[in-house]
Chain A
Amino acid sequence: MNANEQKLCAVSEMDASCRVPLLALFGGAALWLVAGLALSVLASLTFHKPDLFADCACLTYGRLQPAANDLILYGFCIPAALGVVLWVFVRLSQAPLCLPLLPVVGANLWHLGVIGGTIAILAGESTGFTWLEYPRIASVLLLAAFVLVALSIFGTFGWRHHRELHVSHWFLLAAMLWFPWIYAAANFFLVICPVRGAAQAVIDWWYTNNLLFVWLALVGVGIAFYFLPKFAGRMLYNHYLALFAFWTLIIFGTWCGIPQGAPVPAWLPALSTVAAALVIVPIVAIAKITLKTVRGSHAQCKGGPFCYLKFGTAAFVLSSALYIVQACPHFSRTVEFTWFGPAQTQLQLLGFFAVVVLGAAYELLPRVMGFELPYPKVVRFQHWCFIAGLALLVGSLAAAGVVQGMKLADPKIGFEQASAATLVAFRVSTTGLLFLLAGSLLFAANILVMTARWKFGLLKTCLAAATAPLEIKEVRS
């Protein structure tokens, strides 16, 4: 074999080593995305027809909405991201995946935890803390699963041939350390050994910010900084600026999160406001790096993974801008406690993170599986489904939030009147969710068919090996 063929062999061997872990992670994740969006649709129907689930305790809005949110975050976002990160590390290290059994076990534990947690929430056993509703048992499973996957990632990192660190190494390795710390700490101080009084709320806000803002940014930007240069066919713009963005993101971003009107001493919201202002720096830096890397490249995207990543990174900049604006005291007075907050969260989760991970998944899956996507045209269609769905969902909720906030600020306007203004927005946002649901079904279809085709291929190989005629060997006399 000549050198080129050797290289290709090595690449396909690396990719093949990820196959089972990635399918385990993506398969479950795709199903959870569909389930989460379906539950979100059901939850939003409550605003059109409140009587819908009056008799059913497990479908009441207060249980549906947290279950849906957690399914999207813990069910889809984190495992799918871990899958992409595994593959990115394999490619960056140019070595096969280390200890591939660990992520497989981890994936199964994770999905088990998500099932248990979702059932618990719908049964009324949620912990009562936002974004941390899964009860103790499910949390332990999730933490253990994450640690197993992280071990494999660290192992793969340790096996790397070229010792120079890529920018994505910084972002993604930090993320692997970040999540276990915040998850374990939050569960310890809120569920296992609860603290007293308003300290619970502070720790919940600390956890939510560090997960939904910092962790998602670290992983999403890390993935984007790996893929974007490859798609654009150029180098990542300014290594030092990227590292500067990393440092400022983790140093300042971790202090955001306490809302302005919170019933806690003034220094807590003041620190968060200050941190939100300072976090402008890494966001601007990331925006500049992305623009300079992508603009002027001659690569076409045609609704493919490159488009996903461009859209996702743009959504990141927008959702971070909304997050920063929400922390500004003057604006926060109007939009705090309105639908503006959920709009920003949905933009961050679905608009930025889910899109980036889906784009990366579509790019890496054909390489890992060794064959093309079963429905390649669907990728472009799904891209437009997501853009339309997000525009409708986020746009309507954000507008509703601002209008609701302005009306609530005027005490002469009754509460019902202020809420009535949001009803129109809900019709639009439910439509947006339906678009997103359709897009997620397309992804699930791709994954499931790929898994089925691979398993069928395995089966065929086994059968062929079992039924092949025996070789007749000459016996030298």
Chain B
Amino acid sequence: MNHDISNPKPHATAHPMVPIWVISLTVTLIFLAGVYFDHHSGWFDARVYGPYANAEQVQMYQPLAGAEAERLHGKQVYDAVCGTCHGADGMGMAGKAPPLAGSEWVLTKGFKRLTEIPLAGLNGPVTVKGQSWNASMAAMGAGLNDKDLAAVLTYIRSSWGNKAEPVEADDVKAIRAELAGHAMINGETELKTIPE
């Protein structure tokens, strides 16, 4: 091994430049890297995770529409508005509200009469599943918009073993318009006069 201390030779050759192929390789890789980053990074969005390429794709894959989301929406409205009296399991509460599960008033083919109950309110004696009830229900549905009321009615008609056709927001709108200003429905006698 050399130990030349007095006259330090240059320790490395000094070709005039970095070879041109190295530079062009670097530039090519930088370009390809940019393309890859553009397609795969979501541009620093904290909510974009692979395999989604960008924020729009994540948004697109959100399960927004669909019966399941609507059902969930209906459940949320039910839990917030109706569940306290009718019970989270739809079995009703003695002295407060009759059951909805298996109720003949809920499982009707049509839905006009059922929709009018929350829109107008109901008091007076009613027979539900062979039992007599005499509670008073305010117009709980009057404060809900068409979509929410349709969702909750669809929910009660398809939960706890109930199987009946869903209710559309448009139908609720029509029935609400027809009903405008109607007083509370008075007991089973008046209820039976309304077509299903």
Q: Which residues of A contact B (CB under 8 A)?
A: 3, 7-8, 10-11, 94, 162, 164, 166-167, 229-231, 233, 235-242, 244, 248, 260-261, 263-267, 269-271, 273-274, 277-278, 280-281, 284-285, 363
Contact = CB atoms under 8 A, between A and B. Distances in A.
A244 B10 CA distance: 18
A156 to B, nearest CB: 15
B29 A281 contact: yes
Interface of B: 1-3, 5-6, 8-19, 22, 25-26, 29-30, 32-33, 36-37, 40-50, 52-53
Q: Which 8 A-B pairs have the closest CB atoms?
A: A270-B41, A236-B12, A239-B12, A274-B33, A267-B41, A266-B42, A270-B40, A244-B18
A271 B15 contact: no
B11 A231 contact: no
A240 B42 contact: no
A265 B12 contact: no
A333 to B, nearest CB: 11
A94 B5 contact: yes
Contacts, number: 111
B26 A240 contact: no
Given A237-B13, A238-B14, 20 more contacts: A3-B6, A162-B8, A166-B11, A230-B1, A236-B11, A240-B15, A241-B15, A261-B50, A265-B45, A265-B49, A266-B45, A267-B42, A267-B44, A267-B48, A270-B37, A270-B42, A271-B41, A274-B36, A278-B26, A281-B25
Contacts of A266: 40-42, 45, 48-50, 52-53
B26 to A, nearest CB: 5
Nearest to B18: A244
Given A236-B11, A244-B22, A280 B29 contact: yes
15 contacts: A3-B6, A7-B6, A10-B5, A229-B11, A230-B2, A238-B13, A238-B14, A239-B14, A241-B15, A241-B18, A242-B12, A260-B50, A278-B30, A281-B26, A363-B1
A58 to B, nearest CB: 39
A83 B131 CA distance: 93
B36 A273 contact: yes
A28 B8 CA distance: 35
